[in-house]
Amino acid sequence: MGYRVYTRKDIDRLPQLQHLPAADLEAMQVVSAVFPFRVNDYVVEQLIDWSRIPDDPIFQLTFPQRGMLEPDDFQRVRRLLRAGAPASEILRVAREIQGRLNPHPAGQMDLNVPELDGRRVEGVQHKYRETVLFFPAAGQTCHAYCTYCFRWAQFVGDTDLKFAGRDVASLVAYLREHREVTSVLITGGDPAVMSTSVLRRYVEPLLRADLEHIESIRIGTKAPAYWPDRFVADADADDLLRLFEEVVASRRHLALMAHYSHPRELGTPRAERALRRIASTGATVRSQAPVIRRVNDRADDWAELWRRQLRLGAVPYYMFVERDTGPRGYFAVPLARALQIYNEATRQVSGLGRTVRGPSMSTTAGKVLVDGVTDAFGEDLFVLKFLQARDPSWVGRIFFAAYDAEATWLDELRPPSGEADFFFGRALHDAA
Ligand SMILES: *Cc1c(COP(=O)(O)O)cnc(C)c1O
Ligand code: SF4
């Protein structure tokens, strides 16, 4: 089964691109010198509608777009490429630009890595009491890269993956000491890029009898959208399904947290088959994605996405706000607009589709839901609520912010007039 990957060096060769004006191809070269680019033949041949580029949502989702760079940065990199500058010089400039784009949002690298016996537990993040995130080293890439990716910095080699876990023993030791943890989320990148035998090395130890307090194992993945053959036709696809069955047989809930950006990702027979096969193991598929300008900033697209998921047994779970990192000037959707999209979309689906929570911001303090707009106290206000919080006592707490039609992130919001600050304080605001 061919899984064919295209990267930056293929921009000059991909047949689908060759009728584009030379300036457009050059722009892709320029942008992909700064942001990661990786796509595969399934996405190129089955998901992108080439008669609609550049506006096609899957083209915007996977191919470098000129507007992702500020004009000054774009011209600077283009000058270097035109002059045939050495790779080291281009990399130096790319690093400088990347460094200005908040490559590590919400304190991911420093704030959430736990310790055991005085040592950092590599590859583990423990931010919310019940759930531990694990980043297996071999799963820190993806079948294709999203242009809006919030983990983009690791794909351009910025982080050197220093937080990735190479062995599962330290995770198991940590979990044995932390009985309050009930859920382990294996994430990336995309853990489904690993072969089944490698993934098994990470999953099987979690099924031990002395980890009885682990009720659920989740795998965060975009493979059902970007490479459904992982569950259908790959050489070890059947082995993967057997592994899922073993988790379910251990009396644990197995959830594939599937990242679906657009209904078209569920529009191919292979994509449908992948979901049916996953469901046949007893695993649940829950879906999540951010609202992204030019990719999915239409209520009808979300409603259609959720309807297709419901038909296939997947449960809509989170609608996120695009994080404050990378090329967000190009992709960001104002909070007020995201809320409108959410409301218009949920109104179109039955109650089974209204399980999705959002729009939600993953901030340093926690997951903050934009729950509505109201005009209490003679002022237009956002109603906000902690869905998850660094301090468990904040979960479920409602707070208000002055309405702002343009704001795209928590740090752009102000408390209502007369209040000095939000209840959780400035320290945990996400500084830009
Ligand atoms: C979203 C998230 C989780 C999972 O939260 P749930 O509400 O249980 O889905 C865990 N850890 C981090 C850091 C998260 O961002
Ligand atoms: S699937 Fe997730 S980690 Fe991979 S490129 Fe897309 S947003 Fe980034």
CA of 269 from ligand 1 middle (Å) equals 31
Looking at the CA of 134, name the nearest ligand.
1
Q: Which residues of 320-337 are buried (b: 16+ CB within 10 A; e: fewer)?
A: bbbbbbbbbebbbbbbbb
Kindly report the backbone phi and psi dihedral angles of residue 310, in degrees, each rounded to the nearest multiple of 5, phi listed first: -60, -40
Using the atom order of ligand 2, give the atom closest to the CA of residue 189: 3
CA of 147 to the centre of ligand 2 (A): 9
Residue 140 CB partners (closer than 8 Å, separation 6+): 154, 161, 164, 188, 189
Q: Determine the atom of ligand 1 nearest the C-alpha atom of 317.
A: 9
Residue 157's pLDDT is what?
Answer: 79
Length of the chain: 432
Of all protein residues, the one whose alpha carbon is nearest to atom 15 of ligand 1 is 362
- Around ligand 2, the residues with Cβ closer than 6 Å are 142, 145-146, 149, 151, 188-190, 222, 259
pLDDT at 431: 39
DSSP state of 17: G
Find where tokens 């809320």 sit: 339
- For a mutational test of ligand 2's pocket, the pick from 35, 58, 146, i.e. the residue with the most ligand atoms closer than 8 A to its C-beta, is 146
Q: Is 133 in the pocket of ligand 1 (CB under 6 A)?
A: yes
Ligand 2 atom at minimal distance to the Cα of residue 222: 1
- C-alpha 241: how far from chain center: 23
Per-residue pLDDT of the chain (432 residues; tens, 9 = 90+): 568 999 999 999 999 999 999 999 999 999 999 999 999 999 999 999 999 999 999 999 999 999 999 999 999 999 999 999 999 999 999 999 999 999 888 666 667 889 999 999 989 999 999 999 999 999 999 999 999 998 888 888 776 555 677 789 999 999 999 999 999 999 999 999 999 999 999 999 999 989 999 999 999 999 999 999 999 999 999 999 999 999 999 999 999 999 999 999 999 999 999 999 999 999 999 999 999 999 999 999 999 999 999 999 999 999 999 998 899 999 999 999 999 999 999 999 999 999 999 999 999 999 999 999 999 889 999 999 999 999 999 999 999 999 999 999 999 999 999 899 999 986 555 533
**Rounded CA separation 297/299 (Å):** 7
Q: Cβ(131) to ligand 1 under 6 A?
A: yes
Strand 284-291 and strand 315-321: the pairing is parallel
Rounded CA-CA distance 283/113 in Å is 28
CA of 417 to the centre of ligand 1 (A): 31
pLDDT at 1: 52
| 385 within ligand 1 shell (Cβ under 6 A) | no
Q: Please tell me the residue having the least CA distance from ligand 2 atom 3.
A: 189
Probe target for ligand 2 pocket from 147, 190, 328, with the most ligand atoms within 8 Å of CB: 190
Measured in whole angstroms, the distance separating CA 206 from the mean position of its chain's CA atoms is 24
Residue 374 bridge partners (DSSP): 381
| CA–centroid distance, residue 90 to ligand 1 (Å) | 37
388 lines ligand 1 (CB under 6 A): yes
CA-wise closest residue to 298 among 328, 324, 259, 337:
337
Ligand 2 pocket mutation, candidates 149, 321, 362, criterion most atoms within 8 A of CB: 149
Residue with the smallest CA separation from ligand 2 atom 7 is 149
Q: In the structure encoding, which two tokens stand for residue 19, read together?
A: 């009728």
What is the 183 CA–ligand 1 centroid distance (Å)?
10
Q: What residue owns the CA closest to ligand 1's atom 8?
A: 131
Tokens (6 digits) for 181: 């943890």
